[in-house]
Structure 1
Amino acid sequence: MKLHKPILVGGLGLSFSLWMLDTWHDSIVQVGEFGLLSALAVGGGFWLLQKNRPGEQLNDMVIDRASVERGISQTEVIINQLAQEAANHPGLESLREQFAKLPLELDRREIQVAVTGGKSVGKSTVIQILKNVETLSTTSLQYTETAPLFAGVGKNSDAVTLSELQKYDFVLFLTKGDLTDSEFQVLQQLKAAKQSTLLVFNKQDQYQVDERATVLQSLKQRMQGNVVATAASPLPVKVRKYETDGSVQEWMEQPAADIQQLTQQFGEVLAQQGKQLVYTTTMRKVLLLKAEAKDCLNRVRCDLSTPIIEQNQWIAAAAAFANPIPALDILATAAINAQMVMDLGNIYQQKIFLEQAQQVAETMGSLMLKLGLVELSTRAVTGILKTNAVTFVAGGMVEGVSAAYLTRVAGLSLVQYFEQQEIALETGNGLNLEKLHQVLQTVFQQSQKLAVLEAFVKQGVKRLLPEAKAVEVVG
């Protein structure tokens, strides 16, 4: 514990004496003991938030060569930062290998086409026919048939297939009738990923003329016109020939494939948007790699942040437990959080000065009061402590555990906020207090799970009242 830090020592000096700090020194620095609770708290809130946090989206992004090159440069910054902070990181080699391929992607001439859809919609047949279409031969095309949707598990699950589709420049989505809800949901996901897609109503010959027109109209309404109708392998038709002698000859004849709409619209897309398709696919790959690299870097930084948060939360607990006076508690906690802001900012390469750190700490304290977090956490801690009369009657126990809990929420919120920022360069990034407010509220909600709170209170009691463990065992 670095007691020479001016903010920390100044705040604590208003709360309790140096001998109390010396008494708590050994237990505070032993953060390894807190491993189980750390896993519960982080796993219950912070990592869940990170897992579900949306990454950068292509929807509102102008995608051209320059924007892709900027994305590549930003990704390189993150990978280099990871190498600087964790030179032996196990994922570093893979990240570098993937990164080396990105510039080559930009100059790729071949258009990669995925043909997907449910079972028995004619994917293989469509590919076979398109390969022999002369009007498409002027463009270098590579077709790939995906595993059938809505039928697989594991490696062939829909989620895996959808993830794979992001690597392709264009998707031909085949259906053999009006869209099912599952098909429509997949198409919406492809649209959200800004994946260029053409819906192909195949096997239209299996419908009566008026029926196929109805189905096609329905598909166009749902897909805003981006639909073509085909019959890649029409059903054989019976041909009857009447001879002059009155006899009749019958045989089955295979009609020619009807793919004119498909080849015409597909050809127009390739002619008008060929290069743009490559840029968009490359940008998707850039953003995926960037997110992967940033996740690796954030995990490294989280490992460094956790001991700092744990240390500060128990210092706050000790201060509030020794002197359960609300005014001093708030002042001491604000001082501790100000130091924590600077420490965590340093880990995440965010340039935060003393005045900024104090402002953030004060703002977070104010937000906690306005959002009712202080009252809610105190009420929850009190309810859990009441189940053990010995620990509940201990003076300052509620205040101590609550102060520790709120300090932890503040720390996890800062980590969550910093993770959402771009890697800071020389000038650093300014703090967005409105976004910090949103993150604070979200992290608190995630951390309010009963199992997490109970584990935290139990660990807090052991920290603040070591003899309580022995009492519980005897009882």
Structure 2
Amino acid sequence: MTALMRRPMLVGGVSLSLGLWLLGSFQHSLAQMGEFSLLSAIALSSLFWWLNAKRTPQLDLSPVLTPVDRETAEKAIAQAETAIGYLEAENQDIAPWKAKLAQLKPELDRNVLNLVVMGGKGTGKSSLVQALGNQWNVQEAPALFVPETDSDTLAYDLASTADLVLFVTNGDLTESELQSLSQLSRQHHRLLLVFNKQDQYLPEEQPLVLQQLQQRVSHLLASEEVMAIAASPSEIRVRKHQPDGSVQEWLEKPESAIAPLSAKISQILTTEASQLVWATTKRKADRLKGEIKDALNQVRRDRALPIIEQYQWIAAATAFANPVPALDLLATGAITGQLVMDLGAIYQQKLDLQQAQTAAKTTGELMLKLGLVELSTNTISHFLKTHAVTYVAGGAAQGISAAYLTRVAGLSLIEYFQSQDIHSETGFNLEKLSNTLKTVFQQNQRATFIQSFVKQGLAKLFPNTPQPQLSESPATAA
């Protein structure tokens, strides 16, 4: 309790709501507060504490792609090292991560280059690997777009370690193939699009297909980076007329027609060797940082969940104690604002009061627009119908609903912070926060969860009352 008293936003908001209630008991003027929207109530709770706060511009936290040079690769390695430092600050074993980091630094000066051939099933990847294998270190990735397998994941994992990716198709691109190329491009992969099996098209069709491919990927690749080959041409029938008038026929296997592709690969590996290595090293560093971030997020989530639980029951007790509905929303807004501050501290987000206010305001506004307030109250009231303390069911529903909404807000903040870059320390992407809230609410509206939550709420509000058998609401069953 002493720690909570040090939080002026929380104490001020709750105190303000109670003060308004006391004033209303004399003037009978707060009955109309029920007409206030959730947004208005939260704004009132914010006014007292943020009147003099300096407004700060919203930061755009969307990633910006930059060319990969040695400095960029070294920066990525440094960020992975910083992430290890965050994990160490959480008293975690960092020895395995340091070992992986040590393997990255020599990568910057690597001389041997790696190629990966990837694409859908039946595009001729194996034949191309065989045709190129005598010249370079080439690997074949598992086939993409194979349902009910993890081949896509395995293919992209292998591609992430390659310096040059040959993406193979045997005709015009499908939408899935185009999306894959876009994804690889965003990850700074050096790409060549290879139109294989061109021999299966009529001679007059081959340039048309190639031109179509070049146009489809013109935003990703230069036209000379889209090439037509025949890695393993189909057998052709040869007929020879003999001097005696007889005719001999046999099937003959043409040689691979990959000379232009081989020349292009040689040119790239000669003139861009360093850049290719740096881009690959950056991808490996980014992947290592992502793995560290996942471990760090789990540790921080374990710390954050008890805080959310603490605030949700504060919200429940505050809403249950206040007889005027709008004042419940007023206190809940202050509680949510303080929750933003506390969770932000756990996730190393340097938030000021103005930013916490904005996040709480946006969260409350979206809850109102989505109908979360009405839906949660109606659902929770249904579960309370058969409870023995019927005479306080309204207050109980209000209190438990406030706790539920506070929990949804807290879980949304966790998901939002976890999705942020590990080095982001300020600002909110409000659209992203809104989308996260929608997702988290959908995940937490199952009847079984709400029924369990109501039982927990009753145990908190009425600790000396036997727990009831609650009926299930068909409307919320999932």
TM-score (norm 2): 0.75
Q: Which amino acid aligns with 1:261?
A: P
Q: What CA distance in whole angstroms lies between the structure 1 residues aligned with 2:431 and 2:75?
A: 30
Give SS of 1:200's match.
Answer: strand
Q: Which amino acid aligns with 1:202?
A: N
Partner residue of 1:459 out of 456, 463, 468: 456
* 1:116 aligned counterpart, secondary structure: strand
| Equivalent position amino acid for 1:322 in 2 | A
Secondary structure, aligned partner of 1:210? coil
Contact kept, 8 Å, 1:447 with 1:453, in 2: the verdict is no
Answer with 305-314 or 405-414: which moved more.
405-414
Secondary structure of 1:110's match? coil
Say if 2:240 and 2:248, in contact at 8 Å, map to a contact too. Answer: yes
- Distance verdict in 2 for CA 1:410–1:241, change over 3 Å: closer
CA distance in 2, matches of 1:94, 1:153: 32
Name the counterpart of 1:161: 155
Task: Report the AA paired with residue 384 of structure 1.
Answer: T
Q: What residue number does 2:22 align with?
A: none
Asked if 1:176 is matched to 2:178, the reply is: no
2:196 to 197, 202, 205: 202
- Distance in 1 of aligned mates of 2:206 and 2:103: 45
Q: 1:3 to 1:171 in 2, by over 3 A?
A: closer
CA deviation vs aligned residue, 1:224-250 (integer Å, no higher than 9, x gap):
333222223333444444455545555
Report what 2:407 is aligned to: 408
Cα deviations by residue, 1:242-286 (Å, 9 ceiling, x for unpaired): 455545555444433221221222223223322222222222222
1:146 maps onto 2:145 in alignment: no
Does residue 389 of structure 1 match 2:358?
no
2:371 counterpart SS class: helix
Q: Give secondary structure in 1 for the equivalent of 2:192.
A: strand
CA distance in 1, matches of 2:83, 2:62: 15
Instruction: Find the aligned partners of 1:239 and 1:473 in 2 and give their Cα distance.
Output: 83
For the residue of structure 2 that corresponds to 1:412, the secondary structure is helix
* More deviation, 267-276/307-316: 267-276
Structure 1 length-normalised TM: 0.75
**Residues in 1 aligned to 2:320 and 2:96: alpha-carbon distance in whole angstroms:** 49
Preserved CA contact (<8 Å) 1:166 1:284: yes
The 1:442–1:161 alpha-carbon spacing in structure 2 relative to 1, beyond 3 Å, is same
Residues 347-375 of structure 1: per-residue CA shift (max 9 Å, x gap): 223445xxx34x45544454355445289
Which amino acid counterpart does residue 115 of structure 1 have in structure 2? V
User: Are the counterparts in 2 of residues 409 and 440 from structure 1 also a CA contact under 8 Å?
Assistant: no
Question: Does the CA-based 8 Å contact 1:413-1:436 persist in structure 2?
Answer: no
User: After the TM superposition, which residues 218-233 of structure 1 pair with which residues of structure 2 at under 5 Å, given as runs?
Assistant: 218-224=212-218, 225=223, 226-233=225-232
Q: Over the residues paired in the alignment, what is the CA RMSD in angstroms?
A: 3.5
Q: What's the CA shift for 1:336?
A: 3.6
Is the aligned partner of 1:75 residue 2:71?
no
Which of the numbers 65, 77, 98 marks the counterpart of 1:60? 65
Structure 1 match to 2:271: 272
| CA distance, structure 2, for counterparts of residue 123 and residue 3 of structure 1 | 63
Matched position secondary structure for 1:109: coil
2:414 partner SS = helix
CA distance in 1, matches of 2:337, 2:120: 56
Distance 1:249-1:473 versus aligned 2 partners, 3 A rule: closer
Unaligned runs of 5+ residues in structure 1 are 18-54, 134-140
1:446 to 429, 440, 446: 440
Amino acid at match of 1:305: A
Q: Aligned partner of 2:345: which letter?
A: N
Structure 1 residue 413, shift from structure 2 partner: 4.0
Change in Cα spacing, 1:244 to 1:159, as seen in structure 2 (3 Å) is same
Deviations 1:323-364 (A, max 9, x none): 233464355435544543443333223445xxx34x455444
Change (3 A) 1:458 1:164: farther
Distance change (3 Å), C-alpha of 1:271 and 1:389:
same
Question: In structure 1, what is the Cα distance between the partners aligned to 2:183 and 2:95?
Answer: 31
Q: CA deviation at 1:297?
A: 0.8
Conserved? CA contact 1:338–1:360, under 8 Å? no
Closer, same or farther: CA 339–101 of 1 in aligned 2, 3 Å: same
C-alpha contact (below 8 Å) 1:381/1:457 kept by paired residues: no
**CA separation in 1, counterparts of 2:124 and 2:14?**
73
